[in-house]
Structures are given as C-alpha cells and as structure tokens.
C-alpha cells in the first residue's frame, strides 16, 4: 500500500490554475489532479494561510473519494488564501468565481467547503457568471449529456442540493428549514460509525463519543450519533467546549445543534478552549469525530484517547491528522494500528455522493432516498474492507489499498 501511495502522492497534478486578486491580498488555486473520466470535482475553501500544497493534497484526496462516492472522475480542489472573517469576503469570492468560470463550464465541478457556503455563496455567485450549476463542468466533461439529459441533471442538482428537509428523521427542526447540504456530510460520518460497529460485530448504542468541531459536519454527526443511541460526552470547538461524562441526551444535543451561532458552539457553562483542550482528551469515550479543520489531531491526543478506551475514529474533516504527508503519515498510521480509523474518503463522502446521485437519470428526490443512498454507499465501501479483514485495526490501510488499485 505504501508503495502505491508514494507513487500516487508524487504524481504531478494535471492542471494547476493560479489566481491573484487585483483588488485585495487574496490569492487562490484550482488544482485538478487529473481529468479522469473527462472531468474533475472538488469544493472551494477559504482560510488565511492556505497554500498551494494544501490544495494539491485535497485534490488528491477528492480523487480517492470518488472511488467510493462516484462518479468516476478526477479529484480537484479550489483554495483561496484570505481571511473569511474579512468584510471583503463576498467580493473576493465573486471575482474568484468569475475567473474560474471557464473551468466550471467545461470540466470542473465545485461546491462549498471550509468557510465557503454552498447555498448562499457558491450557487448564487456562479449563477451570476452564467454557470447553470457549480457541477455543470462534470455534466459536460464526464457525462457529455445530450441537451435534454443535461437540463434534467442540472434541474435535479439545483433542486436536490438546496432542498429543504421535510422528513423529521433527518432534521433537528423542520421549522428552521435545514437543507440537505447542511446535514448530509455529518449524517454520513455517523452512518460510517454505525456500519462499522454492525459489520465488525458490535453495536453503536451506548457508545460514548467526543466531537471536535461544531460546524455543519461535527454538529450533524453528533445529532445522528445521538439519534442512534450513542452518548455525546464531549464537544471541543474553536470557541471552547463542554464535557458531560454521563452523556448528553438526544434532546440536549438537538438544542445545542439548533443554538449554534455562525457554526460555533453556544452552551451554558462553556469552558474556554484552553480548559477543554486540557481535559477532553482524557475523557472516556469509544468514538472520536474530528470534524474541524484539517491537520489538527496530534499524536499525544490519540494516545490519551486510546488509553481511555477509544475504539473508532471516523474522519469528518479531510486529512484530520497533523501529519505533513498528504495521506498516511505517522500519526494516522499509529492510530490505524491501535484502533479502527475510518478514512475521510469513506466517512465524509456524503456530499460528494449526493452530487453523484443527483446526476443520475430520473432519481427519487425524497429526503429518505437521498440520505439512504449516502448511507448505502458508505456501507458498501466498508463491506469491501470487511471482506479482507476481521480486525478492527488496519482499516484505513486496507481502504487506501483498495482505492489506489483503482487509480494506479
């Protein structure tokens, strides 16, 4: 596996598009690892300090993810080095999408990502440039659909991604009008944990969980884990955190989800970040969901959680371990040898799978159909790993081997 990984990591991306904003200090890159299948896909993120290498690594991650989620296309990513809290953000994004419109029309599909919202930024800003949908490039480049098929696929994408969830099973509050794009990634992360326990001969009910990050992914994962009977015992967010060793009830997690402010945790008795960061890694838990930014999880944190009974890590963030390597560095390898690690390209593929599903012919657009399809896709990927091993350890290594054999 490591030889395959080294070969894949060292291969130069097929296309690198570089941009410098003329009206601000913002700079950005689109990295297309390959035009496998005639197109490439990957979201658009923004953060201060982002660089081209980060975008390259995420483009490669997306390509591996498509071996699970479909369609059979290349991986790509857009990244903008700019402070998302800056009041000029929207104008920067508008100029960015104007610059990358030719790619989005012909062979690149994008979506929301870290600090860039799918519904309120990506879709309207690309529409203003004449792009029918941010995934139009995949439809044109990969599917090469006839006009009537293209109209149908884009119609399904426009409706499905922005669809307000009406089924109470998939929404913490239907009156708040959460959308599929708000919930699906976290749902997939929670489903990956449920499927892991079922496939490897255990059960999620009663398992304790620690959540890192309280944005859409972390909060939704916690919501669906609690719905499945897990106990959320700790949440660490950039503003602080909370610990409840008895576990928050499903109703309490629902309140914490609905009370978020700008995708951050709002809670009574909120501990400071410094306090929670000292205590949470020693809290007894079987499940850990890293769902904040990339490359945050340190070796000593994994060590402390393993010593306190950790069984499984389901990666909500892309590349959550603080390794310099693109994929399988020493921290991830250490974790994979000591417990079950569900890699990001399986556990957080929910949104990528929604895009692939909605590009099908005359698909069922109900909430249940869309969410169940994502769950089934994740289960199938884990079943492929389970067919090779009955051990809880080494899951990520096996998963990478399966995926890379398709790509190399």
SS (HEC) of 225-267: HHHCCCEEEEEEECCEEEEEEEEECHHHHHHHHHCCECCECCC
SS3 287: strand
Residue 201, SS3? coil
Task: Report the chain's mean pLDDT, rounded to a whole number.
Answer: 95
Note whether 248 and 208 are within 8 A (CB): no
| 341-361: average pLDDT | 95
In this predicted model, what pLDDT tens digit does every residue of 297-339 receive, in sequence order?
A: 999 999 999 999 999 999 999 889 999 888 889 999 999 999 9
Q: What is the average per-residue pLDDT within 234-247?
A: 97
pLDDT in tens, 166-178: 999 999 999 999 9
* Average pLDDT of the residues in 103-118: 94
Please indicate whether residue 214 or residue 293 has the higher confidence score (pLDDT).
214
Residue 150 has pLDDT above 90, yes or no: no
Compute the average pLDDT of residues 379-394: 97
pLDDT above 90 for 1: no
The CA distances from residue 224 to 184, 188, 266, 270, in Å, are 10, 9, 19, 22
* pLDDT at position 120 over 80: yes
| pLDDT recorded at residue 146 | 83
- pTM, two decimal places: 0.92
Interior angle at CA 52, CA 49 and CA 55, nearest 5: 95
Three-state SS for 30? strand
Q: Report the relative pairing of strands 231-237 and 240-248 from DSSP bridges.
A: antiparallel
Are the C-beta atoms of 365 and 159 separated by less than 8 Å?
Answer: yes
Average pLDDT for 122-137: 96
Quick check: 109 and 134 in contact, CB under 8 A?
yes
Q: What is the DSSP string of 46-89?
A: EETT--HHHHHHHHHHHHHHHHHH--S-EEEEEEEES-TTSTTH
In this predicted structure, the answer to whether residue 162 has a pLDDT above a threshold of 90 is no
Residue 85, Cα to own-chain centre: how many angstroms? Answer: 21
Assign 293 a pLDDT band (cuts: 50, 70, 90): confident
The per-residue pLDDT for 17 is: 98
Per-residue pLDDT at 3: 87
What percent of the chain is modeled with pLDDT above 70? 100
Asked if pLDDT for residue 262 goes beyond 80, the answer is: yes
């Amino acid at each position: 596996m490591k030889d395959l990984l080294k070969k894949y990591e060292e291969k130069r991306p097929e296309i690198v598009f570089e941009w410098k904003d003329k009206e601000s200090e913002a700079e950005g890159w689109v990295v297309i690892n390959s035009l496998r299948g005639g197109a490439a896909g990957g979201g658009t993120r923004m953060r201060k300090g982002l660089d081209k290498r980060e975008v390259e690594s995420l483009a490669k991650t997306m390509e591996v993810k498509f071996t699970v989620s479909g369609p059979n296309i290349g991986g790509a990513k857009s990244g903008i080095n700019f402070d998302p809290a800056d009041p000029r953000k929207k104008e920067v994004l508008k100029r960015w999408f104007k610059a990358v419109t030719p790619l989005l029309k012909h062979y690149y599909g994008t979506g929301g990502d870290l600090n860039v919202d799918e519904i309120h930024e990506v879709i309207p800003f690309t529409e203003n440039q004449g792009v029918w949908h941010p995934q139009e490039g995949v439809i044109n480049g990969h599917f090469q659909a006839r006009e009537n098929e293209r109209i149908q696929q884009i119609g399904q994408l426009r409706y499905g991604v922005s669809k307000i969830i009406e089924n109470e099973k998939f929404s913490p509050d239907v009156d708040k009008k959460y959308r599929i794009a708000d919930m699906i990634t976290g749902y997939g992360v929670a489903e990956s944990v449920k499927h892991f326990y079922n496939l490897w001969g255990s059960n999620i009910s009663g398992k304790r969980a620690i959540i890192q990050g309280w944005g859409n992914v972390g909060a939704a994962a916690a919501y669906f884990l609690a719905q499945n009977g897990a106990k959320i015992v700790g949440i660490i967010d950039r503003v602080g955190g909370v610990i409840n060793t008895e576990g928050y009830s499903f109703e309490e997690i629902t309140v914490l989800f609905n009370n978020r402010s700008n995708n951050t945790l709002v809670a009574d008795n909120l501990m400071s970040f410094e306090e929670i960061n000292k205590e949470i890694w020693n809290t007894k838990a079987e499940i850990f969901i890293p769902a904040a930014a990339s490359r945050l999880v340190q070796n000593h944190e994994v060590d402390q959680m393993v010593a306190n009974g950790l069984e499984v890590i389901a990666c909500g963030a892309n590349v959550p371990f603080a390794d310099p390597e693109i994929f399988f560095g020493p921290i991830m390898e250490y974790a994979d040898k000591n417990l079950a690690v569900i890699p990001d390209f399986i556990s957080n593929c929910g949104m990528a799978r929604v895009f692939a599903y909605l590009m099908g012919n005359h698909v069922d657009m109900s909430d249940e159909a869309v969410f169940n399809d994502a769950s089934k896709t994740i289960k199938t990927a884990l079943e492929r790993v389970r067919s090779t091993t009955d051990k809880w350890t080494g899951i990520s290594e096996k998963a990478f081997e399966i995926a890379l054999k398709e790509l190399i």
